[in-house]
Structure 1
């Protein structure tokens, strides 16, 4: 299609598997040119538009962390299939300019540091040797990221998809707040990220991260975001801790049966969750047996939150972790990963619900978990479309639901509200309400999987940051680089005070062809193209305004001249002006009438004498007093018959003896006077076009009267 595209590849190395993501966006210069054409502040102040497709993702199991003791096998046995998939969709000529990242999360964080280092080195070496992707810095492209970083990337992705960055005015939640909070929960860890309200942001400034992005016009935008992680508080790690508590409570010898209220009634598993198939195998090892008592399950999972841990500075949420106070009036959170799967998987797959309603959700969980396992298993076996993970999901659903409810409401403090119980003090703008009411994003919490068809993943946030870093800054230097770091005082206003822990986006920018930088503006040799937002808007507005003015004039002229009498009237005036100018040596002087006369001929007709010219030739000087449009053309067919019979003997000299004669006689005539009727009729005959045989354009009357030619000056309503 002739468009310039950039591509990026990210491998999300999680605890349960590795997922490939391919993203695409326009070359920054191309994107800015298109924003200029739109000529709006919104277009120029937007971030690069990142695109992806479902077929561009692929997940394989198990995770990279399983190769901790066999690092040399991670390339051929794990990564190569993902690389091959990426090569199917990225154009060959783009490979060398396409960055590849592998970012490992909680699963790798649990490995010893020596195994983490061995794996990251092996992965970078393998990708460099076996692919042509751009991988200039191993430490930046292949790394185990912190939970705080994962949360920040997720926060970027969420607000990018919801429009909080590009359209702040349409996402006002009250108190000057327009961004959304982000919650993520995987198998091993959970994250939270949000921008506190102004009061809390000032109070906890040192606990926040400074995030800087760059819009298409080269302007930096900054946010102060709080983000933290709870390692060991993902659903799988929480389940392991829960089982350990059961062992301590009931004992774990070979014949022990540990009652578990968080499993469906009658379900038997080993300590690691493997299904017990028969009674013999059940006697050979400790057994967990489900009792299906969900209220008891909630009570037994609550202590895992660590709410009794020492807290140095309140408020503390989970495991003694201090968090700025969350104002749920303006902080509206979205939850991804397990927050979505646990609410919309087993319990909500057929409900079609978009919003999270605590009361409805808890009722569904209780109904499901109170069933006998044999009934649940028969329902799964009876499905036409079978999912290989369906049994596993049903087995784990009750514990996951109890853990999510505890984390969400008792840990983080999200109000137990449904959409119909929106607190009256919630202050939102009309625009935000209209944009979010169908998605439920005005709720204190809303689980999501996709927004506008794009999966909400922290990997998208990383790619938004990378693409943003490819845009040249307005000042022409990188004194305000794209990335994030500690929220040091004065960073946003100082050109060179970059936090020591600042993590750069990993991308580089190049000046656009023909640009030079002057002061705080970016200029271009071509005056039609400038990176300064105000100048771009002025040029875009003036060019678009000029076009619409011209288009409006054309439409107006076409509308005005659609009737012949109007064309004739204008021609008469123009032609009279030309002739007077010719006599006086004015416009187009000379006998020929000059170029202006030729111009009028091209516009209104050929060079031969037309009916309009003969009309205009009547008594020069009288044109100003005799308007063609004033001729009465309202006579019906009976009037036409009378006129055609030639019954009047009034001479032309008496009728048109001059301007003064007309002015004296015509006003005195009555429309009902016989002589007046003749005068008006004869006047029409004087204005008739010549017969068709003489070059006229007349046609016969529909009546049986002698042939008469209709005047081109008659209005459409008279031509019946």
Structure 2
């Protein structure tokens, strides 16, 4: 009888100990989830060359200095061109400004009114404003001051409005990509932040309207121009980054067109091999040669309002030649550690995320995600071989953009293969993506993280329900009790059998 009682007690203590161990571990890991004091918010305005985009991010307040917790809660596209075009067309300015204010109303609706005055707002202007600054610094300064004045009058906590350099944009994009993919830190045992096993980062390929950026990590001992040492969460990274102004998708397209006009026998009637056969349009000389990127290509007797007729040629081979003509590959002298225009670049290595204009080009070719170089090339040929009518039948893309995707595909192929030196093998490591975890891939997130000091130099441990020493003691006590009870039951079972 006594043996049965002791056996029952031992079984009870065994099960109770196991239950306590499981309960303590679960509480230790997950209790923090239920004690959140709420959300914090941040706003970033991406003032690009072709448009302005307003982003709102939120994150749990108690995790402000940790990673992997920020969500994109709003992305509002401002209709009309970028702020660098302010002052060129009064009617257009009014429509753009109205759309901008509409976005700001949406922003106010996304953030609780009680937190408006503590929510930081930032503005970053990119290549379009950099070009305007080169062309007319006074106008550039006036536009930036007007934007600053407006944001200071908003209910939010205005922090910064600046024209960021291309290299900064590239680095912020690299931070965004790797932050969203949890490549800097990830949740480890007991809900703590640890460095991921292997600590591999992903390269960043950004194609905007007026500039393009590449950024990726290199060996710690690498030397040369374009290298930046950054410390994130206690770890050092050597990042190569370079930005090519005037090589954004839109500016490069205008440069290709300017060179075609310049070399045409009839400069007022030009055949564009990248535009589909059957396509025709007219453009003013100002549209083609008014950019800071093409002013040196202006025709003799340049007349801004004069029209030039552009006809589609639908010739893939000639299109590739026309696109390559805007790159200077000769100055590299055949050196492998050089991209184009005489710019030093370490050999590409590892995985890359291609977004913005790179993504939209892959999207048009229906190659989002990953594809082989051969597949990209063959799909491009099929696309470029269609005439204007067939393209409109087969693709539900606005005509304004549809006409340019053959050019875009050739441009992407040229800059990635001939420029950055991706080959059949390394091309497989490129993924064309628009977002990660429902958050847009853009430099804006990295920009906000950096300016708001949300990337600490050292990793921090998430606050736990009990101190590590107490937790270890409790775990040891009940583990020991479990082992003792288990041994006791085994001995009891042996005695019972014999």
TM bucket by the smaller chain? 0.7 to 0.9
CA contact 1:184–1:336 (8 Å) conserved in 2: yes
**Equivalence for 1:390:** 398
1:226 aligns with 2:240: yes
**CA 87–552 in structure 1, closer or farther in 2 if over 3 Å, else same:** farther
1:8 to 42, 45, 67: 42
2:156 to 133, 147, 154: 133
Taking the aligned partners of 1:544 and 1:453, their CA distance within structure 2 comes to 38
**Equivalence for 1:376:** 391
1:189 aligns with 2:211: yes
Q: Alpha-carbon deviation of 1:536?
A: 8.1
**Equivalence for 1:153:** 172
The alignment yields a C-alpha RMSD, in angstroms, of 3.8
* Residues 311-322 of structure 1: pairs in structure 2 closer than 5 A: 315-322=337-344
1:362 aligns with 2:377: yes
**Equivalence for 1:437:** none
1:31 aligns with 2:51: no
Q: Alpha-carbon deviation of 1:451?
A: 1.8
**Equivalence for 2:437:** 452
Taking the aligned partners of 1:153 and 1:21, their CA distance within structure 2 comes to 15
Q: Alpha-carbon deviation of 1:446?
A: 2.1
**Higher relative contact order, chain-length normalized (CA < 8 Å, sep 6+):** 2
* TM-score, normalised via structure 2 length: 0.75
1:180 to 198, 202, 225: 202
CA contact 2:43–2:54 (8 Å) conserved in 1: yes
1:113 to 102, 122, 137: 137
Q: Which of structures 1 and 2 has the bigger CA Rg?
A: 1
**Equivalence for 2:20:** none
Higher normalized strand content (fraction of residues): 2
Taking the aligned partners of 1:70 and 1:269, their CA distance within structure 2 comes to 22
CA contact 2:122–2:448 (8 Å) conserved in 1: no
3-state SS, counterpart of residue 270 of structure 1: strand
Q: Alpha-carbon deviation of 1:250?
A: 1.6
CA contact 2:67–2:182 (8 Å) conserved in 1: no
1:406 to 402, 414, 424: 414
Q: Alpha-carbon deviation of 1:318?
A: 2.2
**Equivalence for 2:271:** 259
**Equivalence for 2:280:** 268
CA contact 2:72–2:440 (8 Å) conserved in 1: no
**Equivalence for 1:463:** 448
Taking the aligned partners of 1:454 and 1:272, their CA distance within structure 2 comes to 39
In structure 2, runs of 5+ residues without a counterpart are 1-34, 187-193, 288-305
* TM-score, normalised via structure 1 length: 0.54
**Equivalence for 1:143:** 162
1:47 to 52, 63, 67: 67
- CA deviations on 1:493-541 (whole Å, 9 max, x unpaired) are xxxxxxxxxxxxxxxxxxxxxxxxxxxxxxxxxxxxxx98699899437
- CA deviations on 1:280-332 (whole Å, 9 max, x unpaired) are xxxx9543222222122112211211213478998331222222x2242xx33
Q: Alpha-carbon deviation of 1:23?
A: 0.7
**CA 270–555 in structure 1, closer or farther in 2 if over 3 Å, else same:** farther
Taking the aligned partners of 2:412 and 2:477, their CA distance within structure 1 comes to 60
Q: Alpha-carbon deviation of 1:248?
A: 2.0
**CA 100–234 in structure 1, closer or farther in 2 if over 3 Å, else same:** same
Taking the aligned partners of 2:476 and 2:85, their CA distance within structure 1 comes to 64
**Equivalence for 1:19:** 53
Q: Alpha-carbon deviation of 1:76?
A: 5.1
3-state SS, counterpart of residue 110 of structure 1: helix
1:99 aligns with 2:120: yes
Q: Alpha-carbon deviation of 1:198?
A: 3.1
CA contact 1:182–1:333 (8 Å) conserved in 2: yes
Q: Alpha-carbon deviation of 1:407?
A: 0.4
CA contact 2:449–2:455 (8 Å) conserved in 1: no
3-state SS, counterpart of residue 244 of structure 1: helix
1:546 aligns with 2:474: yes
CA contact 2:261–2:267 (8 Å) conserved in 1: no
Q: Alpha-carbon deviation of 1:225?
A: 1.8
Q: Count residues in correspondence.
A: 430
Taking the aligned partners of 1:127 and 1:227, their CA distance within structure 2 comes to 31
Taking the aligned partners of 1:52 and 1:535, their CA distance within structure 2 comes to 25
**Equivalence for 2:317:** 295
